[in-house]
């Protein structure tokens, strides 16, 4: 009997087992796989929220693919995407509109993840790359390439990446004092951002009129005129960054507990923080290179989804889903609110994000 019991216990450990528990009133699904080698905690509320946001994002994407000077019903949009459709309908949907919608989803997800990384590292809802100044630094690098070197798309992307990384390095070094504290990083970043904003203005003033106007429009953050030529590089960069981020992202909750706690758990705090900062800056620079600096998505997405999911920390995947949803909605509004005139999507995100920023500052002030 004892042998049968041991054999049964061993078989149960080798099989997939799914239990559930209540964690502070929240239903958590616990997965144990193959002798507990893999343990996963799935928050049911988070899954539901992410699923709803994905469905809403796809719904807005279908609407965006169908609206414009040539209206296409949602059914015909789906036919053009998944099956045969009239040649002109397929041309409008797949060649003219689909790249823009795809970039809105991809870049929005990148901004959401970047914001989640920096808000987690700084342990502050204001710790967003556009507040800290990394967006501004990426814009400075891109402007130098555009206005002084006359670089093309790939050269501009490289300039944005170098500018963002250099800005992050300066902020990190100036904020470093026996480690990097979140509030000090934010204050230093705001100061560096103000300096770089002045440099950007000077670069535009000194440039030729045509180049200055093009740089100013691009600097507002716009998805207008983007095509499949931009989708490919964005996908490639995301495919390269995502596996690296998946490896180090699991250490974020440990860093949120403080450097001493992270070290006690075997985590090298500063090297891990530096790697995460580089990956976050790379995501921000990717967006800046593709569409210009798009503000406030990285600030708002992690906090909005955190309030919806009621989680204690900032999660990357929900932030990515929320960022994609916010940007695709903002871009659709930018296209249609003053149609046929199309606004840069950055104008919409700044308008909405500015109100959110004021509310966030007031909320943080009441906590003091």
Q: Are strands 26-33 and 17-23 parallel, antiparallel or unpaired?
A: antiparallel
The pLDDT, as a whole number, for residue 20 is 44
Q: Give the DSSP H or E segment for 109.
A: helix 98-122
Q: How many CB atoms lie within 10 A of CB 201?
A: 11
> For residue range 161-216, what is the model confidence (pLDDT) as tens digits?
898 889 988 888 888 776 666 678 888 888 999 999 999 989 888 888 888 887 87
- For 237, counting Cβ atoms within 10 Å of its Cβ (0-12 exposed, 13-18 middle, 19+ buried), the class is buried
Q: What does the alpha-carbon distance between residue 246 and residue 342 come to, in Å, rounded to a whole number?
A: 37
* Per-residue confidence band for 32, with pLDDT thresholds at 50, 70 and 90: very low
Between residues 93 and 83, which one has the greater pLDDT?
93
DSSP 15: S
C-alpha span between 60 and 64 (Å, rounded) = 6
Query: Is 60 exceeded by the pLDDT of residue 94?
Result: yes
Name residues whose C-beta falls within 8 Å of residue 316's C-beta, 6 or more positions apart in sequence: 113, 116, 117, 245, 249, 252
DSSP string over 170-210: HHHHHHBSSSB-HHHHHHHHHHHHHHHHHHHHHHHHHS-HH
What pLDDT, on a 0 to 100 scale, did the predictor assign at position 260?
A: 66
Q: Return the DSSP state at 230.
A: H
pLDDT tier for residue 149 given thresholds of 50, 70 and 90: confident
**H or E stretch covering 21:** strand 17-23
Cis amide bond preceding 290, omega within 30: no
Burial annotation 208-220 (CB, 10 A radius, 16+ → b, else e):
eeebbeebeebbb
Asked which of 116-120, 166-170, 187-191, 251-255 is least confident by mean pLDDT, the reply is 251-255
Average pLDDT of the residues of the chain:
81
Q: Look at 183 and 87; give whichever has higher pLDDT.
A: 87
């Amino acid at each position: 009997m004892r042998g049968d019991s041991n054999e049964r216990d061993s078989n149960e450990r080798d099989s997939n087992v799914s239990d559930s528990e209540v964690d502070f009133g929240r239903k958590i699904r616990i997965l144990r796989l193959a002798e507990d080698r893999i343990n996963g905690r799935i928050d049911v509320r988070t899954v539901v929220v992410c699923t709803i946001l994905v469905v809403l994002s796809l719904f807005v994407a279908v609407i965006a693919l169908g609206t414009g000077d040539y209206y296409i019903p949602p059914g015909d949009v789906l036919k053009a995407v998944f099956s045969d459709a009239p040649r002109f309908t397929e041309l409008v949907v797949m060649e003219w509109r689909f790249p823009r919608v795809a970039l809105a989803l991809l870049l929005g997800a990148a901004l959401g993840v970047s914001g989640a990384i920096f808000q987690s590292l700084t342990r502050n809802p204001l710790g967003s790359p556009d507040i800290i100044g990394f967006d501004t630094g990426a814009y400075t690098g891109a402007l130098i390439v555009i206005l002084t070197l006359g670089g093309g798309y790939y050269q501009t992307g490289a300039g944005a990446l170098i500018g963002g990384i250099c800005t992050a390095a300066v902020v990190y070094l100036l904020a470093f004092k026996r480690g990097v504290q979140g509030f000090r990083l934010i204050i230093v970043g705001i100061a560096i951002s103000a300096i770089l904003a002045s440099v950007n203005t000077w670069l535009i003033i000194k440039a030729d009129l045509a180049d200055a106007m093009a740089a100013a429009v691009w600097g507002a953050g716009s998805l207008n005129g983007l095509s499949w030529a931009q989708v490919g590089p964005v996908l490639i960069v995301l495919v390269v960054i995502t596996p690296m981020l998946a490896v180090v992202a699991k250490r974020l909750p440990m860093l949120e507990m403080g450097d001493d706690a992270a070290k006690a758990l075997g985590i090298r705090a500063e090297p891990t923080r530096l790697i995460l900062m580089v990956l976050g800056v790379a995501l921000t620079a990717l967006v800046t290179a593709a569409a210009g600096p798009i503000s406030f998505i990285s600030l708002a997405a992690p906090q909005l989804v955190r309030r919806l999911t009621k989680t204690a920390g900032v999660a990357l995947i929900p932030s990515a889903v929320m960022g994609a949803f916010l940007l695709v909605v903002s871009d659709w509004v930018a296209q249609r609110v003053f149609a046929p005139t199309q606004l840069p999507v950055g104008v919409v995100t700044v308008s909405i994000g500015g109100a959110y920023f004021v509310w966030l500052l007031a909320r943080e002030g009441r906590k003091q």
